Amino acid sequence: MPVDELSSTFSALADPTRRAILERLAHGQATVNELAEPFDVTLQAVSKHLKVLERAGLVTRDRVAQQRPARLRGRPLADAADWLARYRQFFEESFDRLEEHLRAVQTADRVELVDD
Amino acid sequence: MPVDELSSTFSALADPTRRAILERLAHGQATVNELAEPFDVTLQAVSKHLKVLERAGLVTRDRVAQQRPARLRGRPLADAADWLARYRQFFEESFDRLEEHLRAVQTADRVELVDD
Round to whole Å and give the CA distance between A72 and A93.
34
Nearest CA distance, B113 vs chain A (angstrom):
24
Cβ neighbours of B93 (radius 10 Å): 14
Which distant-in-sequence residues (6+ apart) come within 8 Å of A3 by Cβ?
A: none
- pLDDT of A110 reads 65
Backbone angles phi, psi at B29, to 5 degrees: -65, 155
Position A101 pLDDT exceeds 80: no
> Which residues in chain B (27-56) have CB-CB distances under 8 A to chain A?
27
- pLDDT by 10-residue block (mean), chain B, 116 residues: 85 96 90 90 94 95 88 89 82 64 70 56
Round to whole Å and give the CA distance between A12 and A114.
53
Q: Does B81 touch chain A if contact means CB atoms closer than 8 Å?
A: yes
Record the pTM.
0.79
- pLDDT confidence of A66, banded at 50, 70, 90? confident
Inter-chain contact B81–A77, Cβ cutoff 8 Å?
no
Position A94 pLDDT exceeds 70: no
- pLDDT of A47 reads 94
What is the sign, positive or negative, of the torsion defined by CA atoms of B97, A34, A21, A49?
positive
Q: Does B20 touch chain A if contact means CB atoms closer than 8 Å?
A: no
**Once rounded to an integer, what is the mean pLDDT over residues A32-44?**
90
* Chain A residues with CB-CB distance to B18 below 8 A: none
* Chain B residues with CB-CB distance to A93 below 8 A: 26
Inter-chain contact A14–B19, Cβ cutoff 8 Å?
no
Q: Does B105 touch chain A if contact means CB atoms closer than 8 Å?
A: no
Q: Which of A10, A72, A92 sits opposite B10 (nearest CB)?
A: A10
Which distant-in-sequence residues (6+ apart) come within 8 Å of A53 by Cβ?
A: A12, A18, A21, A22, A59, A70
Round to whole Å and give the CA distance between B25 and B35.
8
**Once rounded to an integer, what is the mean pLDDT over residues A79-94?**
79
Question: Coil, strand or helix: which one is B71?
Answer: strand
Nearest CA distance, A44 vs chain B (angstrom):
19
